[in-house]
Chains A and B, each alone.
Chain A
């Protein structure tokens, strides 16, 4: 999930208005930017959509790391197209957040100074080409699990952004699976790399869905508002059930020896990730947190003259046009 542990805001609005609002959501109506909404709904959604947008943007870094070193021109073009999509997804989401009255620059600043988070997964490194395949397949696969139900979320602009994003995500997961399959079916050394990538990224991918339901304190309100559709554990289980047969198809070993089909439940049993590691990463102590934020800050600072220059040019052009009229 690209938005983890989004804190929901308590709401202190007129009970009558709140009830009418909830009734609209229960009836499956979409809330649009000009509609009345509880302050808590607005704040929670800005946090959630913002975190989601930041994840798309920061998520370009681990993959961008391998564009110049892709093994073939075709893989390079594909990876470039995927990273370009991620930028687009970030933009769709920022625009959805902006309809709630927060500005793009405010959101960017909150990312850059650490007040807003992005998904924990992007604080893990991509050490080699096999990781790029595993990221597309597992990380985008996990994101899709979360994003598909969010197409039905109650906030119109968010829902429409998710619909657009989901249309494009299938390419991401498939190109990743195709890349890792090539390695899994390759030389013993390549197969070993594929195995190593799956082993390292499996638990971080499971963390994407957020803490276990029993520790997830923000779910109830968000679910009532339909800005969260499934619980963390539901989505995690769905992801495990979908992915285990894929790992087996690739002829790789399962990254968690406790994974076992449970006939009674009709699901795979699996082990939770190490939640203390998850909380450390969220706090800023993951392997790449410092690098990721430094890269985003540098991009923002280095781009300042471009933003200023284009704006100055646009103003000059407008003044010239005005003078000519």
Chain B
């Protein structure tokens, strides 16, 4: 399988103003073809206004097993949420 095309991760901007969101992946020999293929695979029903492609091996990802050490520390920091503070109603929205 030496000549297998690389895998590309595909990101589509669904409508003006939104961020690109990951929609899936596909194989393609290069970036230009990846965009063309992404158009055919992921935007056949007008799902997008813009496409980003990134070669999958360029994506560094956190490990699911690191969930605890990564996110648990913020659980005890409830004061980061505005609702932590008791603001009387007559003061208005804040």
Contact = CB atoms under 8 A, between A and B. Distances in A.
Interface of A: 28-30, 32, 34, 74, 77-78, 81, 85, 141, 156, 159-160, 170-171, 173-175, 177-178, 242, 245-246, 249
14 contacts: A29-B17, A30-B17, A32-B50, A78-B79, A85-B80, A170-B82, A171-B80, A173-B94, A174-B84, A174-B94, A177-B87, A242-B92, A245-B91, A249-B90
Interface in B53-67: none
A235 to B, nearest CB: 16
Nearest to A178: B85
A186 to B, nearest CB: 16
Contacts of B17: 29-30, 156, 159-160
Contacts of A29: 16-17
A29 B18 CA distance: 11
A76 B67 CA distance: 27
Q: For the complex, would chain B's binding face be called helix, strand, loop or mixed by DSSP majority?
A: loop
Interface of B: 13, 16-17, 19, 50, 77, 79-82, 84-88, 90-92, 94
A280 to B, nearest CB: 32
Contact of A246 (B13, B82, B85, B92): B92
B19 to A, nearest CB: 6
Nearest to B86: A178
B92 A245 contact: yes
A25 to B, nearest CB: 11
B85 A77 contact: no
Nearest to A249: B91
Chain B CB count within 10 A is highest, among A28, A159, A175, for A175
Nearest to A241: B92
Contact of B85 (A34, A85, A156, A175): A175
B43 to A, nearest CB: 16
A156 B88 CA distance: 36
A235 B10 CA distance: 41
Nearest to B90: A249
Contacts of A178: 85-87
Contacts of B19: 160
Contact of B77 (A34, A77, A156, A246): A77
B92 A175 contact: no
Given A30-B16, A245-B91, A175 B50 contact: no
A31 to B, nearest CB: 9
A159 B16 CA distance: 11
Given A78-B79, A174-B94, 14 more contacts: A28-B16, A32-B50, A34-B50, A77-B79, A81-B80, A141-B94, A156-B16, A170-B94, A171-B80, A174-B87, A177-B85, A246-B92, A249-B90, A249-B91
What are the 3 A-B residue pairs with the smallest beta carbon separation, nearest first?
Answer: A170-B82, A174-B85, A30-B17
Contacts of B90: 245, 249
B11 to A, nearest CB: 13
A249 B89 CA distance: 11
Contact of A81 (B13, B77, B88): B77
A247 to B, nearest CB: 10
A32 B94 CA distance: 31
B16 to A, nearest CB: 5
Contacts of A81: 77, 79-80
A245 B82 CA distance: 20
A32 B81 CA distance: 31
Chain B CB count within 10 A is highest, among A34, A141, A246, for A246
B57 to A, nearest CB: 13
